[in-house]
Each structure stands twice: as structure tokens, then as C-alpha cells.
Amino acid sequence: MSEPVVLGAEAVTLAYGSTAVVHDVTLSVGEGGTGLIGESGSGKTTLARALLGLLRPRSGAVRYGPRGSDTADLASLDRKGWARFRGDVQPVFQDGSEALDPRMTVEASIGEALTTHHRMAGNARRERVTALLEDVGLEPALASRRPHQMSGGQRQRVAIARALAVEPRLLVLDEPTSALDVTVQARILDLLERLAGEHGLGYLLITHNLGVVDRLCRTSHVMFAGRVVESGPTTELLTRPAHPYTLALRDAVPRLGGEPPRPSGRTEAVPAETGCPFRLRCPLAVDACREEAPVARDLRGRMVACHRAEDVLAANEVPHAPRQ
Amino acid sequence: MIKIRNLAVRIGDRVIASVPELDVTAGECVAIVGESGSGKTTTLLATLGLVEGAAVTGEITLGGVDVLGASPAELMSVRGSRAALVMQSPQAALNPTMRLGTLMRRALARHGVKGDEARRKAEDAVAAVLLDTAILRRYPHQVSGGQAQRFAIALALALGAEVVLADEPTSALDVTVQAEVVAVLRRLRDERGLAVLFVSHDLALVSTIADRVVVMKEGAVVESGTAADVFDRPRDAYTRELIAAVPRLPERPAETAATPPGEAGRTGEEET
Amino acid sequence: MTVSASPEAPPVLRRTALRHLAGVDRLAMVGAVLLALIVLAALLAPLIAPYPDDGGSATHPLDALLPPSGAHWFGTDQVGRDVLSRVLYGARTSLLIAVAVLVISGVVGVVLGVVAGYAGGWVRDVIMRVTDVFLAFPALLLSLALAVVLQPSVTTVIVSIAVTWWPWYTRLTASVAASVSTRGFVDAARCLGVPAPVIAIRHVLPNSLTPVLVQLSLDGGGVILTAAALSYLGLGAHEPTSEWGLMVQQGQSLFTTDWWVVTFPGLAILVTAFAFNVLGEGLRARLAR
């Protein structure tokens, strides 16, 4: 329906005050789903804020533009450029109760998007709100409700409807389901999957839930301590992790009826200041990890920043009995 | 350790939790699974005698004490020693101006344990939850969520808790930290015969620790049984829906090795 | 151990909390009713005052300093005016001052506070430094200095109090607005491309208002006390205006002999300040949940 756009981080470093929380991250989001995986404190949400133009990089650039042509640095955009960017890239945040103004009705919240981007008012606006609510599987009667009069799942659907109201090409989804019950979560994921197909949306999905990433994202990036430590096809990362942190994440996920999750230990260790940031938690750390920070390199179809990636991969090649 | 018969919690005419039968014996973990509003937390609070503003009827025995018939003092004493509550965010319950060691020493002193014996008990309990004893010298804000959660369990152990009631103890934690907390609870159950009542909405997590499972929906029990029965042969449609909603990871490489990367495991998963 | 507020606990626990709050709410109701009565008395003063002319410049030297009686419930003052009538008319002056001060300093304070809180950066720094300058002086001293420079009048009282009070509302609003500005719905509006001034007015302002409103209602009593103090010192309302502080000043030397002249306006100040305070406290407790 519309030409695809690309949004990317180019050697982006982000800081609050003098503390850098994201270091030299490069990634890009285009068609389909891209996952950004990490735990609290990994810098994934801060990176998302930068990609949404809410936070200016300390160094590096956030670039955006139509696919296949030159992308522009957000910092260099003029008024018109910003308006186009705001119309193309929309967020859905973790918690619908936070993301919706508690004093506004659903109609006012979604209507704000319509007025800002399409100068819609009156009946036309009301009809569009109704259509959007139906699109995300909500009763049009909810239009007069306020956030506290709805369930978590309903609020998240309203937040999605508001994002769709501007007819974006890319969604930045920051933990869109982690505040929800599992069955509600599953339905919201169904919705996102359907909408992405129908509207030809690209999306960046930020989450700590590997199961969600696997379902929606072809490509994924794993972040630890503000750095991307491994990126590549999602299924590859989850079935054959090459970074010990990706491995620890995957093995910690509880599986229905499976073996108990394997604790990786030393989760309280803070990221190392020198050498590899993961080394204090890493069961495979050697002298080289203390002396030299690993640089991301291409290994069997993915990028990985680990001195011992070959060993991690080799250990994973041993076929495990399939889990029930 | 816990025995519940015909429990009903009512606000006005509305029953917000109704549990006909639930037992947790020593060395056993029973999980209550459900979504928000299912009544799972209310059931847990009722077991501890902490429900106020609602009518509680039925029979609840906690560590040998008849919860509904007990005096407030008796309830306080059973909650302080034999039964312990572990909450979602334990840091909020720890006095921020006290080192964790001081906190534990004072709690032990209230139970008449002092001096060397108190120190030994404290160190034992901390070791049992796989924490370094150095943590006793820290203040609550200096420890991570996972450490605070494990310390809360250690505190319960030091005071001689035989049953732990855990309310979504890991849902605020990262998955790697969650794995540690669950491993600690499993170990204590197996090695010390701790009884655990585990309340959670996360079915996959519950399946890794619970011996028996109670599924609740809108205040009522829809299914209960051994973990194997409930997860492998769910009888209730709602239980099946919960199971279907759990996001799944792709299987290990063995059987997908021949498929081109990127397609592997993906198509098969979407149908489940 | 304490009970954390888990998502499904509220139906049970909140009712308990409500019960604890009932006492506070009752007190707030007392404040609201008292204040309503005072406002009503002020509005209806010309109708309900037994001697409407005594609210102004009328004098009845022959009736001077009569003790409370059926004809003069609160007695009469040095020039024979009915104290009850003057207390009722005094309510008009005091409430006018209170409302004017709260509106002026509240509006200035909230506007600057929202600007400072939402814009942040150097804008916030500049506004905060200006408030620091004002807050460096003791409020009453600054009001006094201003009132000395200006002509003594009700307007002088309003201006000199408002000048010293707005910085408090600016600081309060700025801190609330700064935290509101970090919330998801403000980020969402920014991502929609809603212009900054619109975000400030539409999203930040309404969500930052509650604590200031509570503070304003708490401060109503303070304004009345300060206004009374200024009038008492001869810097505010002057004869023949009925004003409680002025009445206290005029009556104080008679306290041992003709106690009613000073006591009833003094009680009026006390009761009004009390009403504002309990109402404010009640609102605060209610909104703190």
C-alpha cells in the first residue's frame, strides 16, 4: 500500500547525564518484525526512545527514510521532515494505562492522533474512531470510556488503535504485552500479527520474552549492558545461540511441561567495565575476555561479540533429546 | 501445612473466591494459576487471615492453626514464624534504613534467638538460598530484586517457616533471575521439606515447580489435579486456553537441522 | 509482613482503606460545610445582618460597647456598631482577599510551573532561580515591605500577599509537571507530533493540577491569617471597611473590659482558617490513595 521505510541506529551511543547506557549500537528496522531482546537495564528501552526521536544520541545517528534511497539523520530533519517521521513511526508502550492520558476518553485519545495528522474533526473523526476500534477488535461503545474503566488488554488495544490512526509504516513496540495476562497477551499478539500483515507494517519489538520474539520477528538483536551482543535470524539465535548470554536467556525460559529452567548463576554481577562486559557472569570466560572487549563478527549467519562464540556453538551442536 | 475446605470469600453478594478443597503438605508445592480477577491472590491472603472488608467462610488451617477461629495474636504468631508470605516486590517490605543483617537479627531476637545462635541461623538461611553472607552487610537498596526476593525467603527460613506462600514472586524479575529464585524454592522443597503455595499467572513457570495445580477463573476453581494431569490432559476448556496461550520457543536443532535457517521451527510453531 | 497491592487485591483491601479514611473524610465534610456557611454568610450579609449599615460607616455613639444581648448578639464596638453585622461583612472582605490571592498566585504559579516542568533545561533553571529569590525572603516580611510602600487598602493586601505566595505554587507544580512529563501518554503525544504548547496545556496541565488544588485549599486559611495580620498592623483594610484583622486590632485594648469586641472577629478568623485546613487535609488524604 505504501512504500516501505527504514529506521536505523548508526553507531548510536546514548547517555543520561554522564552515564552511557547504550554503547555504539547499529541496527535497522524495515519490513517485517525485528526483535530487540534484553533484560531490565540492558538499554533496550532507552534505544527505543532514541529511535522514536524522543532522545538525542550522545554520538552516532538515528537515520530514517524510504527504503532504497538515502536515509536522513533525524537531527537534520526540518519541520516537514519531522511531521513525515511522526506520521511514519509510532510507538506502543508497555502499559496502556501509562500510555493513555487518564483524563481523556478513548475517543479523545484516538481523535488527537486524527486531528494532528489528518485534520479530522466532527463526524468524520467519530466515524474513523469507530472504524479503528473495530479494527483492533473493540466495541465502538468503548469510545466514551476513560482508561481506568477498561481492562489492561482493552487499554493496550486502544493504544494500538491510536498508533494506527496516523497510518504509520513502522511500529516501535516496547514490551507491548508484558503487563498482560497470558491469554490476553496471546490475543494482542494475534492482533499485531494480523495488523502487520494487513497494513504492511514493519515493527521493532522490544521484549524480554523470547517466546514472543520467536513468534513475531524474523531477525533479532540481543542486548546486554547497552551493547548488541548477538544478532541474526531469530530461530537461529534461539536454537543455536552463539553468545553465552543468549544461551543463558534461552535456558532460563520456563517451558510448559519441560525440564526446570537452568539458572545461569551470578546474575547479580554487574557488567564489567573493561574487557567483555558479560565476563563476570560468563561460565566460559578466559583471560582474553578480561583483556580485550570482543568485537562483533560474522559467524555462521549471525553477528556475535564473543571470544568464545565457536565453543558456545559447538556445545550446542550436541543434539539434545527433543523436549516434550 | 495448609488445609482449606469450602472456602468462600464474599463482598456483599459477590463471591470473589471460592475453593472447595486445597491441601499443601510438607515437601510439596501447590500452585494456584489464574488471571487477574480469578481470586488466586484473595485465596492466598485468606489463607494467611489477611482478607479484610470481605466475609470469609469455610475452614482454613495454616500450620495447625484454625485461621478463621484464631485470635489476632495467634495469627500474628503463625505468620511470623511457621508461615511466611513472599510478595512480588519484597524490597518494599524491607526497612530501608537497616542493613539486611540487622533486620534478620531483630526478627530472630523477637523469637528469642540471640547472639551466636542468631548469627549461625542467619548465615545458614542465607546460604540455603544460595546467597553470599556478605549480603547481610548491605542495605535493601544495594541489592537486586532477585537477591531481595531470595533474602525474603531466607528470612522466612531463619524464623523456622515450614510453609511459604508466594504471590507472583518472580513476575517483576528478569527471566534469568526468575530461574534462580525458582531453583531455590525447588531445592528448599526437596531438601528441607518446605511446603509452598505458589500463586502465578504464568503457566509455563508453574509447570516447572508445582506438584499439583489449581486453576481458578472468576473466583471459582475450574480444574485441579497433579501437574502432569493438568498440563498433559487438561479437562477444562479454560485450562486448555491457558495452555495454548503460552508462547513457545522453537525446538532444539536436532530435527530441524535440515531445514534452511530462518524457516526452521517457525512454521511448525505457529500452528500450536 | 505487609501486603502488597497486587492487581487483584484491591476489591478487598481498598474497602479496608476506605474505612480508615472515613474519619478523615468526615472531617473534610465538616470543613466543606463550614466554608459553605461562611461563603453563604458573606454573600447574604446585606440580607441577614441585623444592622446592615453598621457594616460600613454608620456610628451610634450612644450604643457604644454594649455587651452581647438579644438586640446585639455579639455586642457593639467603640462607636456603637453591631459586632455581628461587622463580622458578617468582614467575611466578604476576608473571602474576597483569600479568593483573589489564591486565584492570582495560583494561576501565575501553575502557568510558570507547567512551563518549567515540561520544558525543563534552562527554562526550568531560570524560573526556579526567580522563585528562589522570592523564597529567600520570609513571606510575611516581604508582604509587609510591599504593603508599607503601597497605600494601605484591600488591594494592597491582595497584591502584597499574592507576590509572595506564587513561588510556592510554581515549585509544587513544576515538580509534579516534571514527573507527569515523563509518563507514557506525554511521550505518546510527542510521537504523534502534537506541538509542545498543546501537550503542555492538554496533557501536562490537567494531570498536574490536583496537588496544587489541594495546596490552594490548605492555604486559604493562611491567606486569611496573613491578611488579618497586615490589617492588624494597619497596612491593609482601613476604617470603615469591616475586616476581621482590623477589628481585632481595634478591639484588643478592650479585651479585659469589653471582651466581645475582639473575641468574635478573632473566632471568625480561627473558624475560617480551620475550615480551609480540614478541607485541604481531607482532599489531600483522599487524593493520596
Q: Quick count: other Cβ atoms within 10 Å of Cβ A109?
A: 26
pLDDT at C55: 77
Single out the residue of B154, B37, B133 nearest to residue B86, CA to CA: B154
Domain count, chain C: 1
- Measured CA distances, C6 to B35, B53, B166, B270 (Å): 12, 16, 12, 33
Mean pLDDT of chain C: 85
Q: Which chain C residues are closer than 8 Å to B84 by Cβ?
A: 1
Of B37, B42, B89, the CB nearest to C4: B89
pLDDT at B259: 38
Q: How far apart are CA C41 and CA B108, in angstroms?
A: 62
Mean pLDDT across B169-195: 89
pLDDT at C128: 95
Which residues make Cβ contacts (< 8 Å) with residue A33, sequence separation at least 6?
A196, A202, A203, A204, A205, A216, A217, A218, A219
Q: Answer yes or no: do A90 and C183 touch at CB < 8 A.
A: no
Mean pLDDT across A249-274: 81
- With a threshold of 0.90, does the pTM exceed it? no
Residues of chain A above pLDDT 90, percent: 56
For the ranges B52-56, C47-51, C85-89, the one whose mean pLDDT is highest: C85-89
- Residue position matching grid coordinates 455587651: C67
Give C35-48 pLDDT, tens digit per residue: 999 999 999 988 88
What is the DSSP pairing of strand A33-37 with strand A219-224?
parallel
Domain range annotation of chain B:
2-82+162-270
Q: What are A37's three cell numbers?
A: 531482546
Q: Answer yes or no: do B176 and A39 touch at CB < 8 A.
A: yes
pLDDT at A182: 83
Q: What are C245's three cell numbers?
A: 484583622
Q: How far apart are CA A268 and CA A270, in angstroms?
A: 6
Would you say C153 and C236 are in contact if contact means Cβ atoms under 8 Å apart?
yes
Domain range annotation of chain A:
5-222, 240-317
Q: Is the pLDDT of residue A57 over 80?
A: yes
Q: B268 vs B53, which has greater pLDDT?
A: B53
Give A219-237 pLDDT, tens digit per residue: 999 999 999 999 999 999 9
Q: Answer yes or no: do C8 and B93 touch at CB < 8 A.
A: no
Q: Is the pLDDT of residue B196 over 50?
A: yes
Q: How far apart are CA A224 and CA A281, in angstroms?
A: 11
Chosen from A267, A281, A316, A320 to mutate, greatest number of chain B CBs within 10 A: A267
Give C73-82 pLDDT, tens digit per residue: 898 888 889 9
Q: What are C182's three cell numbers?
A: 515523563
Residue A159 binned pLDDT confidence (cut-offs 50, 70, 90): very high
Q: How far apart are CA A177 and CA A94, in angstroms?
A: 7
pLDDT at B9: 93
Q: Answer yes or no: do B89 and C15 touch at CB < 8 A.
A: no
Would you say A172 and A50 are in contact if contact means Cβ atoms under 8 Å apart?
no
Q: How many CB pairs under 8 A join B and C?
A: 58
- For chain C, say whether B50 makes contact (Cβ under 8 Å): yes
Residue C58 binned pLDDT confidence (cut-offs 50, 70, 90): confident
Q: C139 vs B183, which has greater pLDDT?
A: B183
Q: Is the pLDDT of residue B135 over 50?
A: yes
Taking the CA of residue B59 and the nearest CA in chain A, the distance in Å comes to 30
Taking the CA of residue C97 and the nearest CA in chain A, the distance in Å comes to 32
Q: How far apart are CA B80 and CA B84, in angstroms?
A: 7
Taking the CA of residue A56 and the nearest CA in chain C, the distance in Å comes to 14
Q: Is the pLDDT of residue B203 over 80?
A: yes
- Measured CA distances, B140 to B92, B137, B159 (Å): 9, 10, 19
Give A170-183 pLDDT, tens digit per residue: 999 998 888 788 88
pLDDT at B5: 94
pLDDT at A308: 92
Q: How far apart are CA A120 and CA A126, in angstroms?
A: 9
Q: How many CA atoms lie within 13 A of C244 on its CB side?
A: 30
Q: Is the pLDDT of residue C183 over 70?
A: yes
Residue C27 binned pLDDT confidence (cut-offs 50, 70, 90): confident
Q: Answer yes or no: do C192 and A112 touch at CB < 8 A.
A: yes
pLDDT at C110: 96
- Measured CA distances, A303 to A26, C93, C228 (Å): 11, 77, 75
Q: How far apart are CA C94 and CA C25, in angstroms?
A: 26
CATH no. for residue C142?
1.10.3720.10
Q: How far apart are CA B169 and CA B126, in angstroms?
A: 18
Residue C188 binned pLDDT confidence (cut-offs 50, 70, 90): very high
ipTM (interface predicted TM): 0.87
pLDDT at B251: 66
Q: Answer yes or no: do C11 and B168 touch at CB < 8 A.
A: no
Nearest CA in chain C to B94: C1
Q: Answer yes or no: do B93 and C6 touch at CB < 8 A.
A: no
Q: Which domain holds residue C190?
A: 21-287
Largest CA distance in chain B: 67
| Pick from A16-25, A51-60, A314-323, C232-241: least confident | A314-323
Q: Is the pLDDT of residue B32 over 90?
A: yes
Mean pLDDT of chain A: 88
Mean pLDDT across B179-185: 90
Q: Answer yes or no: do C188 and A99 touch at CB < 8 A.
A: yes
- For chain B, say whether C6 makes contact (Cβ under 8 Å): yes
Mean pLDDT across C179-194: 94
Chosen from C2, C6, C13, C16 to mutate, greatest number of chain B CBs within 10 A: C6
Listed as own residue / partner, the contacts of A252-255 with beta carbons closer than 8 Å and 24 or more positions apart are A252/B175, A252/B176, A252/B178, A252/B179, A253/A210, A253/A211, A253/B175, A253/B204, A253/B249, A254/B178, A254/B179, A254/B182, A254/B202, A254/B204, A254/B205, A254/B207, A254/B208, A255/A323, A255/B204, A255/B207, A255/B208, A255/B248, A255/B249
- For chain A, say whether B241 makes contact (Cβ under 8 Å): yes
Q: Is the pLDDT of residue B258 over 70?
A: no
- For chain B, say whether C130 makes contact (Cβ under 8 Å): no
pLDDT at B260: 39
Mean pLDDT of chain B: 86
Q: Is the pLDDT of residue B163 over 60?
A: yes
Give C252-285 pLDDT, tens digit per residue: 888 888 899 999 999 999 999 999 988 888 887 7
Of B54, B88, B167, the CB nearest to C12: B54
State CA A12 to chain mean position distance.
Answer: 16
Q: How far apart are CA C285 and CA C24, in angstroms?
A: 7
**Which top CATH class is B2-82+162-270?**
alpha beta
pLDDT at A107: 95
Single out the residue of B244, B242, B266 nearest to residue B256, CA to CA: B266
Per-residue DSSP letters for B148-183? Answer: HHHHHHHHHHHTT-SEEEEESTTTTS-HHHHHHHHH
Q: Which chain A residues are closer than 8 Å to C184 by Cβ?
A: 93-95, 98-100
Q: Is the pLDDT of residue B264 over 50?
A: no
Helix C244-251 and helix C205-232: axis angle, to 10°?
Answer: 20
Classify A51 as helix, strand or coil: helix
Q: Is the pLDDT of residue B12 over 90?
A: no
| Pick from A106-110, A213-217, C60-64: least confident | C60-64
Residues of chain C above pLDDT 70, percent: 91
Q: Is the pLDDT of residue B262 over 50?
A: no
Would you say A87 and A164 are in contact if contact means Cβ atoms under 8 Å apart?
no
Residue C141 binned pLDDT confidence (cut-offs 50, 70, 90): confident
A5-222 has CATH 3.40.50.300 classification:
yes
Q: Is the pLDDT of residue A278 over 70?
A: yes
Nearest CA in chain B to A151: B36
pLDDT at B252: 56
Residues of chain B above pLDDT 70, percent: 92
Q: How far apart are CA C224 and CA B191, in angstroms?
A: 70
Residue B255 binned pLDDT confidence (cut-offs 50, 70, 90): very low
Q: Is the pLDDT of residue A199 over 50?
A: yes
Mean pLDDT across B119-134: 90
pLDDT at B269: 36
pLDDT at C11: 40
